Structure 1
Amino acid sequence: MSLINVTNLTFAYDGSYDNIFENVSFQIDTDWKLGFTGRNGRGKTTFLNLLLSKYEYSGKISAKVNFEYFPFEVKNREINTIDVIEEICPDYVHWEVMRELSLLEVSDDVLYRPFSTLSNGEQTKVLLAALFLKENSFLLIDEPTNHLDMNARQIVSGYLKSKHGFILVSHDRAFLDNCVDHILSINKTNIEIQRGNFSSWWANKELQDNFELAENEKLKKDIQRLASAAKRTSDWSDRAEARKIGFDPTKTEKSAGRRPYEAAKAKKMMSRSKSIQERQQSAIEEKSRLLKNIENTEKLKISQLDYHSDRLAELDDVSIFYGEKTACRGVSFNIEKGDRIALSGRNGSGKSSLIKLICGEDISYTGTFRRASQLKISYVSQDTSHLNGNLTGYARENDIDESLFKAILRKLDFSRVQFEKDMSDFSGGQKKKVLIARSLCEKVHLHIWDEPLNFIDVLSRMQIEELLLEYTPTILFVEHDIEFRRNIATKVVEL
Structure 2
Amino acid sequence: MSLINVTNLTFAYDGSYDNIFEDVSFQLDTDWKLGFTGRNGRGKTTFLNLLLGKYEYSGHISASVSFEYFPFPVGNKENHTIDVVEDIYPDFQHWELMRELSWLQVSEDVLYRPFESLSNGEQTKVLLAALFLKENSFLLIDEPTNHLDMHARKLVSDYLKSKSGFILVSHDRAFLDNCVDHILSINRTNIEVQKGNFSDWWLNKQRQDDYELAENEKLKKDIKRLSDAAKRTSNWSHEVEKTKNGTRNSGSKVDKGYVGHKAAKMMKRSKSIEQRQQSAIDERSKLLKNIEASDSLKITQLPYHKSQLAELDNVSIYYGDKLVCRDIDFTIEQGDRIALSGKNGSGKSSILKLICGENISHTGTFRLGSQLKISYVSQDTSHLHGNLTDYARENGIDESLFKAILRKLDFARIQFEKDMSSFSGGQKKKVLIAKSLCEKVHLHIWDEPLNFIDVISRMQIEELLLEYEPTILFVEHDREFCANIATKVVELS
Question: For the superposition of Structure 1 and Structure 2, which TM-score range results when normalised by the shorter chain?
Answer: over 0.9
- What whole-Å deviation, never above 9, does each CA across 1:71-93 have from its counterpart, x for those lacking one? 00000111100000000000000
Structure-1 separation of matches of 2:245 and 2:419: 66
- Offset at 1:257? 4.5
Residue 411 of structure 2 corresponds to residue 434 of structure 1: no
State the TM-score, normalized to the length of structure 1: 0.98
Aligned partner of 2:417 in structure 1 is 420
Structure-2 separation of matches of 1:243 and 1:364: 97
1:188-207 equivalence runs, <5 A: 188-207=188-207
- Offset at 1:268? 2.2
Q: Gaps spanning 5+ residues in structure 1: where?
A: none
1:124-273 equivalence runs, <5 A: 124-246=124-246, 255-273=252-270
- Offset at 1:258? 1.7
- Offset at 1:147? 1.9
Q: Report the RMSD for the aligned CA atoms in angstroms.
A: 1.2
8 Å contact kept, 1:338–1:473: yes
8 Å contact kept, 1:247–1:259: no
Residue 480 of structure 2 corresponds to residue 483 of structure 1: yes
Paired residue secondary structure (2:474): strand
- Offset at 1:267? 2.8
Structure-1 separation of matches of 2:78 and 2:261: 93
1:6-405 equivalence runs, <5 A: 6-246=6-246, 255-405=252-402
Q: Which range moved further: 419-428 or 270-279? A: 270-279
Match of 1:464 among 455, 461, 464: 461
- Offset at 1:284? 1.3
Q: 1:239 to 1:139 in 2, by over 3 A?
A: same
Structure-1 separation of matches of 2:277 and 2:68: 53
Structure-2 separation of matches of 1:97 and 1:294: 44
Amino acid aligned to 1:242 = K
- Offset at 1:282? 2.1
Paired residue secondary structure (2:238): helix
- Offset at 1:286? 1.2
Amino acid aligned to 1:15 = G
Match of 1:409 among 374, 399, 406: 406
Amino acid aligned to 1:271 = K
State the TM-score, normalized to the length of structure 2: 0.98
Structure-1 separation of matches of 2:353 and 2:288: 45
Determine what percentage of the aligned residue pairs are the same residue.
Answer: 79
- What whole-Å deviation, never above 9, does each CA across 1:350-406 have from its counterpart, x for those lacking one? 000000000001111100000000000000000011111111111111110111001
Match of 1:455 among 448, 452, 456: 452
Q: Which range moved further: 408-417 or 254-263? A: 254-263
- For this pair of structures, how many residues does the alignment match? 492
- Offset at 1:263? 2.5
- What whole-Å deviation, never above 9, does each CA across 1:26-77 have from its counterpart, x for those lacking one? 1110000000000101100000000000000000000011100000000011
Structure-1 separation of matches of 2:401 and 2:74: 42
8 Å contact kept, 2:339–2:474: yes
Q: Which range moved further: 288-297 or 26-35? A: 288-297
